[in-house]
Amino acid sequence: MAKHAFLSASSSHRWLACPPSAMLCAQEADQSSPYAKQGSDAHALCEHLLLEALGRPTKDPTEDLEFYDEEMQSSAEGYRDFVMEQVEEARALCADPLICVEQRLDYSRWVENGFGTGDCVIVGDGILHIIDYKYGVGVLVAATKNTQLMCYALGALDTFGSLYNTGRIKLSIYQPRRDNVDTYEMTAETLLEWADQVLAPIAKLAAAGEGTFCAGDHCVFCKVKATCRARADYSLELTKHEFTKPAMLDDAEIADILPKIDNLVAWATDVKEYALTQALAGVHYDGYKVVEGRSNRKYSDEAKVAQTVIQAGFDPYEKKLLGVTAMQKQLGKKQFNELLGSLVYKPQGKPVLVPASDKRPDFNTAANDFTDI
């Protein structure tokens, strides 16, 4: 089993915002999930394809990957291509850049026992590039001032900085299932200033279990998020609004509520899931009981069902056109584009209300069309 740092880079977004949460989370057992295993499989495939592209020894892991499918393959190939583009850019600046894959990075100079693993680290004269692969779809990850990548950059700078003149730091997130490829640049001087003035002091508080509890977006992966009193107080702040009379809310009040809605819904869901887990373990909550939920009928033996229906003179199967990704995989990108390029389109997505900081362009509504005319 892989060892994880107490103040890990991957959780730095949380413990930097809420230092005492680190100690509480360390006391809770790790909970495995199919999403985590899927992410591990995706990273293993990315590592293989990248090493193969770099001409290094590697073994195809696909037979051992529980969640391997065409989407994972296509996503990993895209990551490999993106990284190799960055490698070529680095080679244009430096004749022999260092390219590390799944590299352990130690940033304990600023955080006690701080270490993590960088998916890809490119170091050369003029550039230090940290590239992180995110296979999840639940949370859109930004590269801008991403503390996980900044910690990795510190580890790489501390280890390899003396070998090259790395004054420019690039941080990249590659998140294919959200169509998110994001890159942020900063100077090594700015990174080191943040490490000394922000990271190191807060890490000392977190390691001692000290500091102030603070709820916010960073709570999403906290192990004690369901029972945290600070998060409950933060979420219940919305009760100051009179929801029973929504018509009385003015635009300013709605604008104040909107950024809190997602956290409120997430908190309520976390509390319900925690209560169900506890109830199944024997805890009684006044006014509640555990019952069996609804379920759908399933075949106990699909092969036998098919055989029985065929013998009765019927066809038990339905024909379905392959999806775009599966079809491209079968035909190959070149032939797919030649044969079907003119027959594939991307429909407009549903309108979604998001913060103004979102990088996507404004939705072109009918009202906007009329205004343009």
Retrieve residue 40's tokens: 């591990």
Check pLDDT > 60 for residue 343: yes
- For residue 171, give the 3-state DSSP assignment: strand
Radius of gyration, alpha carbons of the chain: 25
Q: How far apart are CA 358 and CA 322, in angstroms?
A: 33
Q: What is the mean pLDDT of residues 3-8?
A: 69
Average pLDDT over the chain, rounded to an integer:
86
The number of residues in the chain equals: 373
Whole-model pTM: value is: 0.70
Q: How far apart are CA 102 and CA 116, in angstroms?
A: 10
CB-facing half-sphere around the CA of 30: CA atoms within 13 A: 9
Beta-carbon contacts of 6 under 8 Å, excluding residues fewer than 6 positions away, are 22, 26, 112, 113, 207
The tens digit of pLDDT for each residue in 322-339 reads 888 888 888 988 899 999
User: Which of 135, 206, 210 shows the shortest CA–CA distance to 173?
Assistant: 135
Local confidence band at 290 (pLDDT 50, 70, 90 cut-offs): confident
Identify the residue with better confidence: 23 or 193.
193
Local confidence band at 3 (pLDDT 50, 70, 90 cut-offs): very low
The per-residue pLDDT for 243 is: 52
Q: How far apart are CA 5 and CA 151, in angstroms?
A: 12
CB 143 within 8 A of CB 129: no
List for the chain the helix, strand, coil content (%; round to 5). Answer: 50, 10, 40
User: Under the phi-then-psi rule, with left for phi > 0, alpha for psi from -120 to 50, and beta for the rest, what region is 313?
Assistant: left
Backbone angles phi, psi at 93, to 5 degrees: -95, -30
The per-residue pLDDT for 238 is: 62
Backbone angles phi, psi at 300, to 5 degrees: -80, -25
